[in-house]
A and B are shown apart, each in its own frame.
Chain A
Amino acid sequence: MKKILSITAFTVILSMAGCKKDSEFLDVPPIQVLPNEVAFSDPALVLSILGDLYNRQLDFSSLDNGWRSFADFSESFPSENGSDFIVTRTGWGYGEWATWDYTYIRELNLFIERDSASTALTDADKKRFMAEARFLRANYYFEMVKRMGGVPLITSSMTYDPGKGDVTSIQVPRAKESEVYDFIISESEAIKDLLPKDPNQKSRASKGAALAMEARAALYAASIAKYGNNTPQVSLPGGEVSIPVGKATGYYTTALKAAQEIITGGAGGYELYKALPDLSDNFAALFLDKSSANLESIFIEDFRIGGRTHAFTTNDQPYSISDEGADAGRLNPSLNLAQSFEKLDNTFAPFAITDGSGNPIYYTNQQEIFAGRDARLAGTILLPNGLFKGKRVDIWAGYIVPGGGILTSDEASKLKPLPGTTTDVQVVGKDGPVNGLEFRTQSGFYARKYLDPTVGSGRRGRGSDIAFIRYRYAEVLLNAAEAAFELGQLPVAASYMNQVRARAGLTIPLTAAQITFDRIVHERRVELAFEGHTLFDMKRWRIAHIVWDGSPTTLTDLKTNLGVANARSTQPWGLWPYKIYDPASPNNGKWIFREVLPTRVSGSNRFQFGNYYSFISDAIRAANPKIVRQPNQ
């Protein structure tokens, strides 16, 4: 009896407890997924969603994108055996540099739609988030149009209705190349006043960033219109690739106007970075300084120790000063780039290694040969005997012994006796150069731009937190100068260009008559080296197929036509220092230099017409037959 009672009681309790409504019991709010209304109710949550969208921006060269993204186009030599394809190949595949991330576009569109549908956010927050997402969307469309030409312009999220079974409504054809640029320009104009007008707002979009993007985009469109005329093959009848020449003036005017709005302080007080007395150190510090003293950087990709870091310094630090043993020395700027930094009298000259009658010039120290040049040379490139982290890099290729022979070894630790002596001594620099010896320089130079002098920055575990500058004031000035030059406003162009040049120690101003297309091209090459501009600049000027024409770069090619826009540069050369050993001679202990083509360089860059716009893959075109294929592929 007692048993029955207890069983009954237990059953009653159980059934009462189990008698919850189904909906009450089953509808548990998820704890890993936030519904849209919740996510878009709190500014901090929205910012974290936006943070992910910021992180997914695409850059050509970027510090967390691998050192190799800086290494191509004969501006440097890749000193890593696994990467020598860069200098052994004879050109690029048509698929190179392609991007087609419509997932990213869709998520940006969804963000914009959800942000505007949100009721819980304040109006000011909503507007700013919306403007930032529109900035990122325009920036990605800019990145796409640079690489692919006109792409489908999708500005709202699309939904596929499986019930209908018809995908044609969401198959969008490619827009005209000019329409994509127009979109970027109109978006920038629309959002610029919704973004903060604050030069210290660097890693989030600001008014300055929107205007800088507008100026650059309009300039690209203008030059494609103007110089695309020289390559009629690179065009499509529907205008998906190429812009009619008649639009050039309009775009140049837009570019100049947007750039001038920044220059005249319309976006806050941006100015060139002039913090240090030594102009080379100042130029290098521009890329290292993230404080509010740096009013030059406009929009950056930021990093933080303990959070997101990158391995640029680990990969590219000098071998002898490495924090990480043999992990070093990959990016070696080429002689092609180094010698294009002009002399202080505004003239071009290769480094003087021989005198008029062909005899070698003897220098008392290694840096003498580089003296009297543009301060950006030593700011961008770590020269032989250059200073990094308080130490000198040890770059020399060997001894020249009496009789003219070369005494060297295949590694610095392999010692050899000098002629007439028996003591073993070091006969080659700890940082190279030795042909084919990876992680030491093989061109005679190391990269200095972005190289982090902080203690421990070269360690794999710690990494470096140097920011990558996407837009900076000097480029805005150069954009303005180029637009003004193309519009025939030469004095205006000269004044902008001279500001950039004066900061680099070139104090003799260029006159209006001296501003030429070659000057514009050259100034961008030296000011913006390793900042991801080379390919896109060469493409928009339509000189890529001339500069990278597939023929090997001979020594004569190298040493002539300096400062000429379409001079051939298909192979990275090096400049190797040698020490003289000849106790009987007054030149004992002095230095001579020789131009050397590293033996690994067996290919030469050939840029074909089909490379001007990257291949749209077969899968994309099969999924959407409205996509027309690129020309010359």
Chain B
Amino acid sequence: MKVKFQYIVLLAFCAIVISCEKDNYDAPSSKLSGRLVYQGQPIGGLERDQVPFELYQFGFGKVGPIGASFTQEATFSAVLFDGNYKLIIPNGQGPFVWKKTGAGAPDTIPITLAGSQQLDLEVTPYYLIKGPQITGAGGKVSATFGLQKVITGTGAQDIENANLYINKTQFVSESSVDRVAKTTIAGTAITDVSNISLQVTVPTLQPTQNYVFARVGIKIKNVEDRLYSPVVKVTF
């Protein structure tokens, strides 16, 4: 009996030793990351988890996307295996225009990944938020900024409204859980697009804090996703 037990231990030990390593892949380690840019400059910001991108890798049977979303700073990252990928942004996403093929499908960017890679995605935004200045004083947060219309002629869209958002945490957007207050100015009420001023009163915060996170965002007509400026921390 004792001998048999030793055999069992030996067998189990062998099995453990053999099963290690051979049939396991290393975890993916190459990081693909980048920003959304227009002419090399970041476009500003987006609402978190609202603008998706899709990575496709072919050659493994059925094809499905590796899907993820841009951050609120309009950056993205994905940890992947080395290999060849194709990247798209689906139609109708983002406050910008992504290149399309003649048939109307989103154009692909081929990516050859060998080790980590930085890749900026060039898009054409409808507008750019220029020189946002956000300051706080006396329980109020004020912002001044300008807007530059990028797409003119066909495909041009008007501004539906411009907003100043504040939130207790660093996530700031139109989403009702990402703001404690906002002020809105309708697009038709904007007289000078190069100089827009907005002011919002900070509501009572629980627990109290003497700072908020703020940024401005614009809603473009017929475009669902909003364009934002970078988030700033404001003490009031």
Give min CB distance, B68 to chain A, whole Å: 14
Q: Verify if A320 is at the interface (C-beta below 8 Å from B).
A: no
- Contact indicator per residue, chain B 73-94, by CB within 8 Å of chain A (1) or not (0): 0000000000000000011110
Give min CB distance, A317 to chain B, whole Å: 33
- Asked if residues A633 and B90 are in contact (CB atoms below 8 Å), the reply is yes
Return the contact of A90 from the options B62, B177, B224 (Cβ within 8 A): B177
Q: Verify if A550 is at the interface (C-beta below 8 Å from B).
A: yes
Give min CB distance, B234 to chain A, whole Å: 23
Q: Tell me the A73-116 residues at the B interface (CB within 8 Å).
A: 90
B-side contacts of A622, CB under 8 Å: 62-64
The 8 A-B pairs with the shortest beta carbon distances in the complex, nearest first, are A618-B64, A622-B62, A632-B92, A604-B176, A552-B176, A609-B224, A622-B64, A90-B175
B-side contacts of A609, CB under 8 Å: 92, 224
Q: Verify if A505 is at the interface (C-beta below 8 Å from B).
A: no
Cα-based distance from A93 to B17 in the complex (angstroms): 45
- Asked if residues A631 and B91 are in contact (CB atoms below 8 Å), the reply is yes
B-side contacts of A570, CB under 8 Å: 176
- Asked if residues B93 and A632 are in contact (CB atoms below 8 Å), the reply is yes
Give min CB distance, B72 to chain A, whole Å: 14
B-side contacts of A618, CB under 8 Å: 64-65
Q: Verify if A44 is at the interface (C-beta below 8 Å from B).
A: no
Q: Verify if A551 is at the interface (C-beta below 8 Å from B).
A: yes
B-side contacts of A633, CB under 8 Å: 90, 92
Q: Verify if A594 is at the interface (C-beta below 8 Å from B).
A: no
| Subset of 25 A-B contacts with CB under 8 Å | A90-B177, A232-B222, A233-B92, A233-B222, A233-B224, A550-B174, A550-B175, A550-B176, A551-B176, A552-B176, A570-B176, A602-B177, A604-B176, A606-B175, A608-B224, A609-B92, A618-B64, A619-B64, A621-B64, A623-B62, A629-B90, A632-B92, A632-B93, A632-B224, A633-B90
A-side contacts of B104, CB under 8 Å: 237
How many residues of chain B are within 8 Å of chain A by beta carbon? 15
Give min CB distance, B224 to chain A, whole Å: 5
Cα-based distance from A233 to B175 in the complex (angstroms): 21
* Range of interface residues on A (Cβ < 8 Å): 20 to 34
- Asked if residues A90 and B176 are in contact (CB atoms below 8 Å), the reply is yes
A-side contacts of B177, CB under 8 Å: 90, 602-603
Cα-based distance from A632 to B90 in the complex (angstroms): 7
Residue positions of B touching A, CB distance < 8 A: 62-65, 90-93, 104, 174-177, 222, 224
Cα-based distance from A633 to B53 in the complex (angstroms): 10
A-side contacts of B92, CB under 8 Å: 233, 609-610, 631-633
Known contacts A233-B224, A550-B176; 9 further A-B pairs (Cβ under 8 A): A237-B104, A551-B174, A606-B175, A610-B224, A621-B64, A622-B63, A623-B62, A629-B90, A631-B91
Cα-based distance from A623 to B177 in the complex (angstroms): 38
A-side contacts of B176, CB under 8 Å: 90, 550-552, 570, 603-604, 606
B-side contacts of A629, CB under 8 Å: 90
A-side contacts of B93, CB under 8 Å: 632
Q: Which residue of B lies closest to A602 (CB)?
A: B177
Q: Which residue of A lies closest to B223 (CB)?
A: A233
The A interface, classified by DSSP as helix, strand, loop or mixed, is: loop
Q: Which residue of A lies closest to B104 (CB)?
A: A237
Cα-based distance from A608 to B222 in the complex (angstroms): 12
Cα-based distance from A552 to B64 in the complex (angstroms): 36
Cα-based distance from A529 to B174 in the complex (angstroms): 30
Q: Tell me the A580-633 residues at the B interface (CB within 8 Å).
A: 602-604, 606, 608-610, 618-619, 621-623, 629, 631-633
- Contact indicator per residue, chain A 538-578, by CB within 8 Å of chain B (1) or not (0): 00000000000011100000000000000000100000000
Give min CB distance, A571 to chain B, whole Å: 9
A-side contacts of B222, CB under 8 Å: 232-233
- Contact indicator per residue, chain A 200-228, by CB within 8 Å of chain B (1) or not (0): 00000000000000000000000000000
Cα-based distance from A623 to B61 in the complex (angstroms): 10
Cα-based distance from A91 to B234 in the complex (angstroms): 29
B-side contacts of A90, CB under 8 Å: 175-177
Give min CB distance, A349 to chain B, whole Å: 27
Q: Which residue of A lies closest to B52 (CB)?
A: A633
Q: Tell me the A444-500 residues at the B interface (CB within 8 Å).
A: none
A-side contacts of B174, CB under 8 Å: 550-551
Q: Tell me the A266-281 residues at the B interface (CB within 8 Å).
A: none
Give min CB distance, B21 to chain A, whole Å: 32
- Asked if residues B91 and A632 are in contact (CB atoms below 8 Å), the reply is yes
Give min CB distance, A614 to chain B, whole Å: 15
Cα-based distance from A92 to B224 in the complex (angstroms): 15
B-side contacts of A623, CB under 8 Å: 62
B-side contacts of A603, CB under 8 Å: 176-177
Give min CB distance, A435 to chain B, whole Å: 16
B-side contacts of A621, CB under 8 Å: 64
Q: Which residue of B lies closest to A609 (CB)?
A: B224
- Asked if residues A619 and B224 are in contact (CB atoms below 8 Å), the reply is no
Cα-based distance from A603 to B174 in the complex (angstroms): 12
Q: Which residue of B lies closest to A551 (CB)?
A: B176
Cα-based distance from A610 to B174 in the complex (angstroms): 17
Give min CB distance, A66 to chain B, whole Å: 26
A-side contacts of B224, CB under 8 Å: 233, 608-610, 632
Cα-based distance from A237 to B175 in the complex (angstroms): 31
Q: Which residue of A lies closest to B178 (CB)?
A: A90
Q: Which of B64, B92, B174, B224 has its CB near the most chain A CB atoms (within 10 A)?
A: B92
Give min CB distance, A181 to chain B, whole Å: 24
Cα-based distance from A606 to B91 in the complex (angstroms): 20
Q: Which residue of B lies closest to A605 (CB)?
A: B176
Cα-based distance from A307 to B106 in the complex (angstroms): 53
With contact pairs A90-B177, A602-B177 given, residues A619 and B62 touching in the complex (Cβ less than 8 Å) = yes
Q: Which residue of A lies closest to B182 (CB)?
A: A551
Give min CB distance, B201 to chain A, whole Å: 16
Cα-based distance from A618 to B177 in the complex (angstroms): 30
Q: Which residue of A lies closest to B177 (CB)?
A: A90
Q: Tell me the A42-79 residues at the B interface (CB within 8 Å).
A: none
Cα-based distance from A572 to B99 in the complex (angstroms): 41
B-side contacts of A552, CB under 8 Å: 176
Cα-based distance from A618 to B67 in the complex (angstroms): 11
Give min CB distance, B51 to chain A, whole Å: 11
B-side contacts of A237, CB under 8 Å: 104
Cα-based distance from A629 to B106 in the complex (angstroms): 12
Q: Which residue of A lies closest to B174 (CB)?
A: A550
Give min CB distance, A544 to chain B, whole Å: 13
Give min CB distance, B49 to chain A, whole Å: 10
Cα-based distance from A267 to B92 in the complex (angstroms): 46
Q: Which of B63, B64, B92, B176 has its CB near the most chain A CB atoms (within 10 A)?
A: B176
Cα-based distance from A272 to B174 in the complex (angstroms): 46
Give min CB distance, A84 to chain B, whole Å: 14
A-side contacts of B175, CB under 8 Å: 90, 550, 606
Give min CB distance, A416 to chain B, whole Å: 27
Q: Which residue of B lies closest to A237 (CB)?
A: B104
Q: Which residue of B lies closest to A631 (CB)?
A: B92
A-side contacts of B63, CB under 8 Å: 622
Give min CB distance, B210 to chain A, whole Å: 24
Q: Which residue of A lies closest to B93 (CB)?
A: A632
Give min CB distance, B182 to chain A, whole Å: 9
